Structure 1
């Protein structure tokens, strides 16, 4: 009888603590071997992860430095690409609301090109000709765009570069 109680208690405890809702092993989506991205701010900065080149324009020149992303940084960027369904986005985020257009100056064409699994996708957003409705639709794209720049601007090599001397009005 004691053995039966021990077995029952064992099953109860195992049932309570052994089957947690959180899986013990989470499977990450593997980054494809052909994965790379190109991001451009439409003004001074441009980055290509395929060759690790970060470009910054100045009035008299353009400087190029090598900025290599870590595996963890690439994984975070790639997981966000999958999360926001980048390959299902429109090519351009353009306002269809002709009555509520917001025109900003200066304006920039912010863009991201991504290659993965043999597919290329270029998505752009014009900061100068938009609307609140368009901004809401572009929110996932802008989240990815800002996250990539956040990662790049934290890199020591980029921090050491002088700011661009271009001025936009």
Structure 2
């Protein structure tokens, strides 16, 4: 009976530890940019939006659960092993789509003293590119981060950009 009780307690401890999956290091932060008007820096908690008369900054703080969601996905996809840039494979026989203007999105993630900045033009996901599977994982992380930011209450008060791209 003692052993059954100990086994039950051990099982409960293991289950409770998996809920938090990965603990977020205190020196984990990221910078994300849509390549056009919007960027966010989690270290400074500043969201920047470009307007025709200059850029303005707004404070948007992430809570622990949001930081953990981003960190878990970052760990799951092994972001630190991503290439610096996803490039079109021009020698491929598949047709290539080019859109102008186009914007290079970027995510830079730092954990402790190790940083990796990755650049991807999201239009290129339709093209033959190097490391397509990793590029799709990049987009998954990119979309998750922006989803979290856009759903923050502070974001709803930010005026839309008046910049127009032709």
TM-score class, shorter-chain normalisation, is: 0.7 to 0.9
Q: Does 1:104 align with 2:99?
A: yes
User: Structure 1 residue 77 and structure 2 residue 70: aligned?
Assistant: yes
Query: 1:129 offset after TM fit, Å?
Result: 4.9
Match of 1:146 in 2: 143
In 1, distance between residues paired with 2:35 and 2:113?
Answer: 26
**Number of residues of Structure 1 aligned to a counterpart in Structure 2:** 158
Aligned to 2:161: 164
Query: TM-score scaled to structure 2, two decimals?
Result: 0.83
In the alignment, what sits opposite 1:127? 122
1:24 paired to 2:19: no
CA distance in 2, matches of 1:50, 1:137: 25
Q: Is the 8 A contact 1:53 1:67 kept in 2?
A: yes
Alpha-carbon distance, 1:33 to partner: 1.6
The answer to whether the 8 A contact 1:52-1:66 is kept is: yes
Task: Describe the superposition over 1:11-58 as per-residue Cα deviations: whole angstroms up to 9, x where unpaired.
Answer: xxx7xxx698xx533343221121110000000001001110100000
TM-score, scaled relative to structure 1: 0.81
Pair 130,143 (structure 1): closer, same or farther in 2 beyond 3 Å: closer
Q: Distance in 1 between matches of 2:57 and 2:136?
A: 30
Query: Computing the radius of gyration over CA atoms, which structure comes out larger, 1 or 2?
Result: 1
RMSD: 2.6
Farther off after superposition, 145-154 or 95-104: 95-104
Instruction: Provide structure 1 residue ranges, at least 5 long, that are not aligned to the other structure.
Output: 1-6, 8-13
Which stretch shows the higher mean deviation, 27-36 or 45-54?
Answer: 27-36
Question: Segments of 4+ in structure 1 off by > 6 A?
Answer: none
Gaps of 5+ in 2: none
Q: Alpha-carbon deviation of 1:162?
A: 1.1
